[in-house]
Structure 1
Amino acid sequence: MKNENEKLDQLFENLENQWDIHEMDSQHSNRFSEKLALKKRKKNFGYIYAIAASVVVMLGIALLYTNNDKPKELKFASKETKQTDSIFTVLIEHQLEQVKAKKSPENEKIINDALQQMKSLDSDYEKIKHELEVNGESKPIIYAMISNLQTRISFLQNVLKHIDETEKLKNLNDEKTI
């Protein structure tokens, strides 16, 4: 060990005149502090970018899942066609709610049959929408779409009228028996 210490002492003695003993200028520490502060500021932006990217990914996932729950829209249709579809769809849904609200043991069979028929008309409408997406807007497809929508509305109106007539007949029969 003594031998090793002597080797180290000898090494330092050989390097004695080669040491860098220059003084730093007075602005050196200020420049160093500025560079250090700049580096710290850059690191803070990294966290902000990471958080922003995470938020964007989460929003994208949320939008993806919420869009799957909504009914399929007419993606390739013109503004007027989309507007027509949305107006008729609201009317049909409103009348469907009215039909379902009138459900009773006396008219349950009528309502169930009507709902079955509506499913059939809905599937036809989905086929028309598919044709619209595949072939684009053409007069025959638009006419078929509007015809289907009108048929569904008039069908629901007829069902409501029939239910009302059935209820009136029942009320008349009840009055006669009293």
Structure 2
Amino acid sequence: MKRNADPIDELFIKHQFQWDIENLEANHELRFKEKLNQKKFNWRFIVSIGIAASIAIFLFTTMGDPTYKKPSELQYASKETIQTDSIFTVLIERELEKIEEKKSPENKKIIADALKQMKQLDADYEKIIQELEVNGESKQIIYAMISNLQTRISFLQKVLEHLENNENKNVFPDEKTI
């Protein structure tokens, strides 16, 4: 019985004289050995220069910039807690900016008292943060943190309301109030 030829073998037999065959030059082996013996490019040197440049740029941008703010105080908190803190912090800063805009000789005492009260609330918040770092996250600490943040925002809103009421009273000084 005759064996069936493999189609690949048939293909090689059919095209055996059509292959590109080129002989190498006589000194090919010498040139190859010379290239192997040549000094290789030192990638470690280039990489170390790149790392040093990256460190220098990082140090320049963080330490050279006087407006650089240190990272959030919540180093040991979850992402959700850090996100909540940052949202409330932005709201508090906006309210403080609004109060600063209302600064006038008539409102000077009210604003000074409000800022004094805010310092006390900030000190309480720092204690909560220290408790968070020592004991980790618990429902009580998170509730205390959120409560403090909400208290600060509502306090600032009440101060703003009071300042606006004072401004409205001063708009019509000739009117008599009962």
Distance in structure 2 (CA, Å) of the matches to 1:115 and 1:70: 23
Matched, 1:105 2:111: no
Distance in structure 1 (CA, Å) of the matches to 2:36 and 2:71: 57
What is the TM-score with the length of structure 2 in the denominator? 0.71
How far is the alpha carbon of 1:97 from its aligned partner?
0.5
Distance in structure 1 (CA, Å) of the matches to 2:46 and 2:94: 48
- 2:41 is aligned with what amino acid? K
Which sits farther off after the overlay, 83-92 or 97-106? 83-92
How far is the alpha carbon of 1:60 from its aligned partner?
4.7
The one of 39, 44, 48 aligned to 1:50: 48
How far is the alpha carbon of 1:29 from its aligned partner?
5.4
Rate the CA distance shift 1:72–1:79 in 2: closer, same or farther, 3 A: closer
Distance in structure 2 (CA, Å) of the matches to 1:57 and 1:108: 47
- For residues 122-133 of structure 1, the aligned pairs below 5 Å read 122-133=122-133
Stretches (4+) displaced over 6 A:
none
Distance in structure 2 (CA, Å) of the matches to 1:71 and 1:112: 28
- For residues 1-178 of structure 1, the aligned pairs below 5 Å read 30=31, 33-37=34-38, 39=39, 41-43=40-42, 45-62=43-60, 65=63, 69-70=69-70, 72-173=72-173, 175-176=174-175
Unaligned runs of 5+ in 2: 1-26
Rate the CA distance shift 1:71–1:151 in 2: closer, same or farther, 3 A: farther
Percent identity, please.
52
Listed one character per residue, the Cα deviations across residues 58-81 of structure 1 (whole Å, up to 9, x for unaligned) are 245357647972353312112221
How far is the alpha carbon of 1:35 from its aligned partner?
3.4
What's the C-alpha RMSD, in Å, of the aligned pairs? 2.7
Higher helix share: 1
What is the TM-score with the length of structure 1 in the denominator? 0.71
Mark the structure with the bigger radius of gyration.
Answer: 1
Distance in structure 1 (CA, Å) of the matches to 2:68 and 2:132: 20
1:4 corresponding residue in structure 2: none
**Residue 72 of structure 1 aligns to a residue in which SS?**
coil
Listed one character per residue, the Cα deviations across residues 116-150 of structure 1 (whole Å, up to 9, x for unaligned) are 21122112111111111110111221111111111
- 2:153 is aligned with what amino acid? I
Corresponding pairs, count? 149
Distance in structure 2 (CA, Å) of the matches to 1:77 and 1:129: 9
Distance in structure 2 (CA, Å) of the matches to 1:49 and 1:87: 40
